[in-house]
Structure 1
């Protein structure tokens, strides 16, 4: 008899608890409808410990009220980030509860709310990035990804933003996830100019873009290929590993990536950049040559070869590469700048020798020779600096360098004309 009494007492306690949580859910729902979201949350906290024993339908109702209450607080700018996260978690629990019950009373509305929260997080992340709050921005982007794991672009941006925040361990964790997902980000973007705003709008599909053009709301359609991001992903993985003193792990990661994606030339360049970071210039040039075999007109790659040659004091080879870049892309500003810098590099040694000379006839003769040599260097860089200023007139460093050259050559008219444009 005693055992039966215990069972009966337990059943009675459970029944009372069930009624209590039902009452609390109703009370919370009533408070929320009256606009008292915080009161609703406080009431629900009292039922939190009992909800595990509730039916799936009661759980769904509990999480529905909870999610809406937290979302209401976030919309009122009350601890926005925290409450958006709590709201999203509640809505996800709701959907799981209704999946278990086989009923779908609140799931559609919850899914809509989750989508709304996702875009609130993304907009918040963009706002944070604009004021250099990269850590908060990265977390919001990652939270947005966790709400919709099909949208892997948010995971990619979260990883990149953690790099900007210099939180390399967090970035590495997300890059590893991207690697395991075999994420590339390769695709196509569709644009057209909005006739009303005169701004270019981005469309998700070709059909959507073409439909708007046909309707007459947009014009000047444009299609842009989105290159693979694998190279950048593995480059950052490698750089982080190198920074942590794990160079061999970095090399292994890129080697595995290349094996899995043999046609992705961006990964060859990534591997080359790793050897550049570790100052293995021979392997770097070998890998760059491999890429150039597949794409001989890649101006960026050839420019990098010029930089490497210049750093190795091989000015002849560097000049050859920079000239090739200019031939491929006549508006490649940095090629003109580096060409000028390459030629000006010899000026320091000339000035040093000139300053050491005395006043003897022999020294004065040598001084004049060096002066002519210095002037010839200045004359040789003028076309490159002028072109760089023409392409990028806002580059103050280049403009100042050209002014100094004009001044040294006593080109007064040219000096005044350029100075007037500043």
Structure 2
């Protein structure tokens, strides 16, 4: 008889607990309607210990309200990173619970809110990155990845921000996860011009984005569709992994990582390029040149490859870099960045001229030396002019090209050309 009374009492306690948690969830919903998310979370906190024994419907409702409360706090700019991450996690719980239960009362709203939270996380990460708060940016993007693990690009950029913030162990953890997922990032970006403002817009890089873009082009809402190939990021992942390992004094591990990457991806030139870059960082120029030569021999018509080797070579050998940039132009005469980098390579000596000229006095000897240096400096600027003008012809909207060309016109006292270019740029 005592056992029966005990069972009845226990059942009564569970029943009372169920009423209590329902009341707390209702109180939280009311607080949210009154735009008081802090009070809403306080009410939910009182129900938290009981939620594990709740029905699936109550659990879904609890997490949905919790997600809304955290999202509302983030909207009020209160601990944005923490609250957006918590909101995303809560909405995921809703989706998981209702999927397992075969219900969908909150699913559609949770999916929409999760997408909004993810978008807010990405935007907040961009702002943090601009402010050089790299650790915060990495947190936000990792939370965005956790919200949707199919979007591995967010994990890739979280790793990049962690690297920039010198959180190397964390970056290695993210890069390791990307390698396990066999992430490449290779794909196609879809663009088209808006018929209203004639501005090119990015539609995305998924099959759905392409369908959306193509439909709007057919309806003449957009024009001039453009597809842009996105190269593999595997080389960048392995390169950064290797460079971090080198910085940590783990050179053998770095070499091993790249060897394994090449074995698994024998045709991925970005990984071979990463290996060449590693040996350049290690000051093993003989191995670097051998690897760079092998790369170009295997891909003699790859302008991107020639250009990238030029970028790497520019760190130590300007003459060699110039040769690779010219090779890229030979393969693709419209390679804007190769023209620009050639010009920058030649302009690299300007500081040396300016420093020496500023140190000179007013003696006859100094004045003669000044004239010699001035002539040499003008010759340097003149040698860059064909490359800059060609780059500007190919890409007149490129601000780096336009500004560099303006400076060179000014240095050469070509004031008519400088004035005409400034007018074109609206300056």
Q: Which residue of 1 aligns with 2:221?
A: 217
Which structure 2 residue ranges, 5 or more long, are not aligned?
358-364, 392-400, 423-427
User: Match for residue 285 of structure 2?
Assistant: 281
Shift, 1:321, TM fit = 4.9
TM-superposed CA distance for 1:39, in Å, is 2.4
Relative to 1, partners in 2 of residues 1:384 and 1:28: Cα closer, same or farther, differing over 3 Å? same
* 1:280 CA drift (Å): 1.1
- Aligned residue number for residue 87 of structure 1: 87
Aligned counterparts of 2:281 and 2:57: Cα–Cα separation in 1: 58
2:180 and 2:323 mapped to 1: Cα distance?
A: 41
SS in 1 for 2:224: strand
Pairwise CA distance, 1:225: 1.0
Residue in structure 2 matched with residue 153 of structure 1 by the alignment: 153
Matches within 5 A, 1:162-181: 162-181=162-181
Shift in Å, 1:304: 6.6
Look up the SS of the partner of 1:202 in the other structure: strand
* Conserved? CA contact 2:385–2:405, under 8 Å: no
CA deviations over 1:39-61 (Å, ceiling 9, x no partner): 22222211111111222222222
Q: How many residues align?
A: 391
Please provide the CA RMSD for this pair.
3.8
**Radius of gyration: which is bigger?**
1
Residue among 307, 330, 334 paired with 2:341: 334
Are 1:296 and 2:295 counterparts?
no
Displacement of 1:371: 12
1:362 is matched with none
For the 8 Å contact 2:322–2:342, the answer to whether it is kept is no
1:397: how far off?
Answer: 11
Deviation at 1:200, TM superposition (A): 0.6
Instruction: Report the alpha carbon displacement of residue 93 of structure 1 after superposing the two structures with TM.
Output: 2.2
1:23 aligned onto 2:27: no
Per-residue deviation, 1:376: 9.8
Could you say if the C-alpha distance between residues 13 and 399 of structure 1 is closer, same or farther in structure 2, counting changes exceeding 3 Å?
A: same
User: 2:211 corresponds to which residue?
Assistant: 207
Q: State the shift of 1:395 in Å.
A: 2.9
How far is the alpha carbon of 1:256 from its aligned partner?
1.3
Instruction: Extract unaligned runs of 5+ from structure 1.
Output: 352-358, 360-367, 407-413
- Conservation of the 8 A alpha-carbon contact between 2:245 and 2:254: yes
The counterpart of 1:242, out of the listed 240, 246, 253, is: 246
Q: Corresponding residue for 1:385? A: 384
Distance 1:240 1:397, change over 3 A: farther
* CA distance in structure 2 between the aligned counterparts of 1:314 and 1:195, rounded to whole angstroms: 45
Q: Tell me how far apart the structure 1 counterparts of residues 274 and 140 of structure 2 sit (CA, whole Å).
A: 28
1:192 alignment partner, SS class: strand
State whether residues 288 and 301 of structure 1, in contact with CA within 8 Å, keep that contact through their aligned partners in structure 2: no
- Could you tell me how far apart the structure 1 residues matched to 2:26 and 2:250 are? 57
Alpha-carbon distance between aligned partners in 1 of 2:45 and 2:179, rounded to the nearest angstrom: 40
1:85-164 superposed matches below 5 A:
85-164=85-164
- Alignment of 1:261 onto 2:270: no
Mark the CA change 1:260 to 1:193 in structure 2 (over 3 Å): closer, same or farther.
same
The Cα offsets for residues 215-241 of structure 1, whole Å up to 9 and x where unpaired, read as 111112212111111111111111111
1:233 corresponds to which of 231, 237, 245: 237
- Are 2:404 and 1:395 equivalent residues in the alignment? yes
Distance 1:394 1:313, change over 3 A: closer
Give the Cα separation in 1 of the matches to 2:154 and 2:107. Answer: 24
Separation of aligned partners in 1, 2:188 and 2:261: 23
| Alpha carbons 1:273, 1:284 under 8 Å: kept | yes
Q: Distance in 2 between matches of 1:56 and 1:308?
A: 57
Q: Sort the Cα spacing of 1:123 and 1:195 in 2 relative to 1 into closer, same or farther, 3 A.
A: same
What is the CA-CA distance between 1:139 and the residue it aligns to?
A: 1.5
Change (3 A) 1:416 1:32: closer
Match of 1:42 in 2: 42
Would the alpha carbon gap of residues 285 and 57 (structure 1) be closer, same or farther in structure 2, given more than 3 Å must change? same
State the shift of 1:193 in Å.
0.6
| 1:278-331 superposed Cα distances (whole Å, 9 cap, x missing partner) | 11111111111121023224456546766888887796x676556545544485
Q: CA–CA distance in 2 between the matches of 1:378 and 1:81?
A: 51
